[in-house]
Amino acid sequence: MKISSAEFIKSAAIINQCPILNLPEFAFFWRSNVWKSSLINMLTQRKNLAKCSKIPWKTKLFNFFIINNSRIIVDLPWYGYAKSWEKERKGRLDFTQHFLNTRNTLKNTFILIDSSIPPQRIDIEMIKCFIEEWINFSIIFTKSDKCNQKNRNKNFKLFNEEIKKIWIEKYKFFVVDNIRWKWREELLSYIEDLIK
């Protein structure tokens, strides 16, 4: 898929504010510091389409972007943990869960995982929720160029060991970096295949 246009549509703080365009949607769900904005910008080849926040846990809104006037990217709120924001975080997660379970146009959710560090408990717990709720998801391992191959492979192995404890099925995944861009074509092709 060649991206000829990519534009911000709107932000939503509550479910009734989400746009209804009857177009296939693809959500990105993320924890702090996984280069989510950079990933969306690299995927769409638009430098400042997704804004980078210096304070990740203040990202509270659902952000909608339209691609080629025919596909929607949904940037979901951060699911990380900050004690002082726990009440707001729970509200956002409730909103997110409702969106993921009821959004008929949602084709897939990409869960972003930092491949440069060992698997985090909160990531595994979130994936477990997706499995239990029967929500379609894929994994995007980000920041693969931020550690050497030995440590990266070790982190992949540990991650897979944790996933096997909760799920026996194979999962679709992509490995993303800022150096080799083969992943971009693979990810865009996968998105197109999910629509067919």
The tens digit of pLDDT for each residue in 66-79 reads: 999 999 999 988 77
pLDDT confidence of residue 77 = 80
Q: Is residue 170 part of a domain?
A: no
**Would the pLDDT of 138 be above 70?**
yes
**Would the pLDDT of 84 be above 50?**
no
Q: Is residue 174 part of a domain?
A: no
Please give the angle made by the CA atoms of 152, 156 and 161, to the nearest 5 degrees: 150
Secondary structure tally for the chain: helices H, strands E: 5, 7
Task: State the CATH number of the domain containing residue 31.
Answer: 3.40.50.300
Q: Is residue 176 part of a domain?
A: no
Please state the pTM of the whole predicted model.
Answer: 0.89
Separation of alpha carbons 27 and 195, rounded Å: 14
**Is the separation of the CB atoms in 66 and 6 below 8 Å?**
yes
pLDDT confidence of residue 81 = 53
**Distant-in-sequence, close-in-space partners of 1: CB < 8 Å, separation ≥ 6:** 68, 188, 189, 191, 192
- State pLDDT tens for residues 153-169: 999 999 999 999 998 78
Domain count, the chain: 1
Question: Phi/psi at 180 (nearest 5 deg)?
Answer: -95, 130
Q: Is residue 1 part of a domain?
A: no
Alpha helix locations (H) across the chain? 36-44, 86-102, 121-133, 149-164, 182-195
**Domain, as residue range, for 141:** 6-83+90-152+184-195
